[in-house]
Amino acid sequence: MTITLGWNCWFAIHSDAQGLGNSPYSSLGIGEFYGESFSDNSGMGQSGVSVGNGFQINNLNPALWVRNRFTTLDFGLIGQYKKIDSGKNRQTNVGGNLAYVALSFPISTKWNVGVSLKPYSFVDFENEYARIVPGTPYYAYYITSGKGGINKASLNNAVQIGKYLSLGIEATYFFGNIRRGSEVQIPLPFGEGGNYMVGLNERTTVSDFSFRGGAAVRIPIKKDNKLFLNVGGTYSLGSQLASTQTVSFELTQGGSNVVAPDTLDNNLGGSMTLPTQYQAGLSLEWPYKLILSADFNHQGWSGYKSFSNSNDGLRSINRINLGAEYLPNISSLSYFNLVRYRIGFSTGPTPYVVNGTGINDTNVSLGLTFPMGGRFSNYISVAFLAGQRGTGGAGMIKERYGRVILGLTLMDRWFQKQKLE
């Protein structure tokens, strides 16, 4: 299946889906981003930087991990179905991946330590276009492709200070590699020695640390703690990630080397710059009943620099996330009164610019958390997102997607002393 994309002029795209499926926009920057939210916050429009319910880990804000009073294991999977339109061309694809694994461990009632592992970005595209070779009857086929991504392993420390304030810091180790290739193929008639192929392959490996800080304030505004106003925010430091790059060249005819493959750069040292990012949010919380949440987040991708010191045309963006969570009756004997229901909305630009046009993304979400186990101390969560990115028209791409995030939460008390009567 082929689709026409605008930013490479004359060409068509051929794709094989991996990860979350074919993503033409992942050819820009370090690819597409997974986001920080786990399944519960994903069902609330990816909002919730100011509030944690204590049942599951809120990964949007390192300070909110301290709300988890039990040892908590969160595990998530993500799947996506996408339709891509470009002019008269259509494509559908399906993909899936691990979304996150996280463990939260309370050292005391006011100190929590946790670890997490999750993908940060992914690259998955293949572009092809054809042009006639001047002065000959032959066509040359130009192919660019990319695979890979960046992952993050994090150590989180969160503390509560006094009655209302919590602070947290996340130390993250970024690792992974992105492989990009460019090929030119010239098919020749039978008997002329086979097709020519010139290829240039590039592999960039990232391995370095970065830090994110967070704060949250929980202020009671009604007697007997029946209503709280929550304020929260995070700040991710801009980081220069140590990187290495290997570039190789090959020239073949009919599958045989015309010249020996050559490594032009072997583990060349350099760096990749990730920009600063910050989030701020407000929420109203009726404990164990209702949460209304609104977040603003800024991502300064105009400050991004690739290994080659290119910005890839990325822009800084601001997004709005809105969400609500409702728990009918926590003391009810009816099972569905113990299910938590969520709804959300998110809108704003993406970092990508194509043919001078900024690409926007809007999605709506629904979420459910089902208690399970003898004491209902464990949970299965599911979030459904439906959205659209980009617009139709000449040289443009419109993506309509549906996404499912399935989460499993297991809670227990570790090292609790038993009293003997």
Sort strands 2-4 and 89-108 into parallel, antiparallel or unpaired. Answer: unpaired
Query: Considering the entire predicted model, what is its pTM?
Result: 0.88
Q: What are the start-end ranges of the E strands in 109-193?
A: 111-132, 139-161, 165-186
As a whole number of angstroms, the distance between CA 123 and CA 144 comes to 12
Q: Kindly report the CA angle at 124 between 119 and 128, in degrees rounded to 5?
A: 170
Neighbouring C-beta atoms of residue 311, cutoff 10 Å: 16
Least confident of 190-199, 309-318, 396-405: 190-199
Percent of the chain's residues with pLDDT above 70: 91
pLDDT single digits (tens) 2-20? 333 433 333 333 333 346 8
Percent of the chain's residues with pLDDT above 90: 67
Tell the residue number behind the tokens 């009604």, with chain if given.
222
Q: Is the Cβ–Cβ distance between 106 and 5 less than 8 Å?
A: no
Helix (H) or strand (E) holding 381: strand 378-390
Q: Is the Cβ–Cβ distance between 317 and 351 less than 8 Å?
A: yes
Q: What are phi and psi of 63, to 5 degrees?
A: -70, -25
Residue 337 three-state SS? helix
pLDDT single digits (tens) 203-260? 999 999 999 999 999 999 987 878 999 999 999 999 999 999 999 998 888 777 777 7
The whole-number average pLDDT for the span 130-149 is: 87
Question: Of 90, 94, 128, which is closest to residue 12 (Cα–Cα)?
Answer: 128
Distant-in-sequence, close-in-space partners of 359: CB < 8 Å, separation ≥ 6: 25, 349, 350, 352, 353, 389, 390
Question: Of 345, 238, 246, 363, which is closest to residue 295 (Cα–Cα)?
Answer: 345
Token output for 299: 């991502």
Q: Is the Cβ–Cβ distance between 260 and 249 less than 8 Å?
A: no
- pLDDT value at position 196? 81
Residue 30 three-state SS? coil
Judged against a pLDDT cut of 90, whether residue 352 lies above it is answered with yes
Burial of 118 (0-12, 13-18, 19+ CB in 10 A): buried
- pLDDT value at position 19? 62
What is the DSSP code (8-state) at residue 375? T
